[in-house]
Structure 1
Amino acid sequence: MSLLAPPRTRARSRVGWTWIALSSLAIAVYAVTPYLTTPLHELAGDAVGLAGAYEGKPAWVLSALYVHIVAGGIALLVGPLQFWRTLRERARSVHRSVGRVYLTAVLVGALAALALAPVNSAGLVGLAGFGTVGVLWIWTGWRGYRAIRTGDVRSHQAWMIRNFALTYAAVTLRLWLGVLMAAQSPWIESGADADAAFRNAYALVPFLSWIPNLVLAELLVRRRGLPALRITDGGYARTEIVERVVEKVVER
């Protein structure tokens, strides 16, 4: 956003960033703290999160679960700071350091998510949805890192917007669960009904938690005039060359 943007636009941007920062903080604390302060069997007995689905799993599964929770929480906490204009422009060394922490957390969290995908509680849908988002989480982070290493700041910004949209899936997953559970509330009459409603809702979130995020991220990228995602073998540079050649031909 330009410094010459209308005050109303700047205000909307600040409100949006504040919402994302606070909701990320809330979910990071809400989702991570119980697993770091309470044994898993107690969380399962209290029906906290997915603790019941992972209680009794092999040690490697539990290790991947805790690694994913902690790394994902770190990514949620520090990610919004990377979009704070003041920090980015006045403390670039801090921005770079926080960026390294963020991308490391993304990589570790995504690898742990890929390890968990085959044993997730949503079955094949979860394997496909959570597996895909894990791969995209790594890929968009790598593209953002590679862009800034080559000095392509605008592409770096675009890829990091997409990457954080995937990180923010931790927030939207829980929001969608609430919406889907509320939509089924008229038919919930017992604990068994509530369990069935949760399973119905959780069968949708492996994709619903991140696909709308990516769509909105791409709209934001285009609105800011950053390099848009194009399905082409040659990437941005080759696409721009082709477009220029076409324009020259049309002009003639």
Structure 2
Amino acid sequence: MMMNKKLNSNNQTSFWNVILIMVFLIALFYISRDLEHYGMKEETLGRFWNVKWWLICHLTTAIVAVILGPLQFWKWFRNRNIKLHRQLGKIYILSIIITSLCSSYLAWNTAIKIHFTWALTLQVAAVIWIITVLMAYRTAKLKRIQQHKEWMIRSYIVTMVFISFRFFNDYFEAAQIGTFIERAATIGYLATFLPLFLSELVFQWNRKK
């Protein structure tokens, strides 16, 4: 019986490791693709030129969070480098706080010029981003390990919203569903709340108490 449980645990760990690697590779693809559109020239940055340093800070800290996330979830790395895990966790938290604040600034200085609903979508995502990572930090400080893991997953899901947004937007654009202004807010909420809802189903399905 104990052997079966251990095998099941190892199988689950391997499964989630594969999922995490796939998500990380997809994230790298979209990051590399999007960075091609940015450059320190007015003609390439366009409407972002006057807020370029906010944009650069937002992109840099967001990428740091995307990269650090898998290391925080990697059980083998975490168990063998617990002090480093905690230090990287603090960097992850700080990165998300900074990138969220930059996102809020950009929302009401650039996104608002596209449409109010798009700016509001970005602002809501930024607030959820900060709250989820602060909840992950609080549960870690209180040594509520299982809750900490769940809040870290929620936090990383929100971290990946800009990836899932681009995935959904590429599909809607290929299907010729609306203009960007018409679909942006809907896709933003879809990219944020659908993954969070599905993760919550998994958490509650496996909960024993």
Q: Verify same fold: TM over 0.5.
A: yes
Q: CA offset at residue 159 of structure 1?
A: 0.9
Number of equivalent positions: 203
In structure 2, do the counterparts of structure 1 residues 226 and 151 end up closer, same or farther at CA, with 3 Å as the change threshold? farther
Aligned-residue sequence identity (percent) comes to 24
Q: Name structure 1 gaps, 5 residues minimum.
A: 44-50, 186-195, 228-252
**8 Å CA contact 2:59, 2:99 repeated in 1:** yes
* Higher relative contact order (CA closer than 8 Å, sequence separation 6+): 2
Matched, 1:100 2:94: no
Q: Tell me, what secondary structure is at the counterpart of 1:101?
A: helix
- Find the aligned partners of 1:202 and 1:40 in 2 and give their Cα distance: 26
- CA–CA distance in 2 between the matches of 1:72 and 1:78? 10
The one of 27, 31, 51 equivalent to 2:30 is 27
Q: Match for residue 52 of structure 1?
A: 46
Q: Which residue of 1 aligns with 2:40?
A: 39
Q: How far does the alpha carbon of each residue in 1:150-173 deviate from its partner, in whole angstroms, 9 at most, with x for none?
A: 211111111111111100102101
Q: How far apart, CA to CA, are the structure 2 residues paired with 1:20 and 1:225?
A: 24
Aligned residue number for residue 72 of structure 2: 82
Partners of 1:22 and 1:153 in 2: CA distance: 27
Letter in 1 for 2:61: A
Q: Which residue of 2 aligns with 1:208?
A: 190
Q: 1:26 to 1:223 in 2, by over 3 A?
A: farther
1:197 aligned to which of 165, 170, 179: 179
When normalised by structure 1's length, the TM-score is 0.71
Output one character per residue of 1:163-184: Cα deviation in whole Å (capped at 9) or x when no partner.
1110010210110110110111
Deviations 1:169-226 (A, max 9, x none): 02101101101101118xxxxxxxxxx7344343433322211121122223334538
Q: C-alpha distance in 1, partners of 2:54/2:17?
A: 36
Match of residue 184 from structure 1: 176
Structure 1 ranges of 4+ moved more than 4 A: none
**CA RMSD across the alignment:** 2.5
1:1-252 mapped onto 2 (5 Å cutoff) = 3-5=6-8, 9-32=12-35, 35=38, 38-43=39-44, 51-55=45-49, 57=50, 61-119=51-109, 120=111, 121-184=113-176, 197-225=179-207
One-letter code aligned to 1:139? I
- State the Cα deviation string for residues 24-47 of structure 1 (Å, max 9, x = none): 233333334653xx224242xxxx
Q: In structure 2, what is the Cα distance between the partners aligned to 1:88 and 1:224?
A: 23
C-alpha contact (below 8 Å) 1:181/1:201 kept by paired residues: no
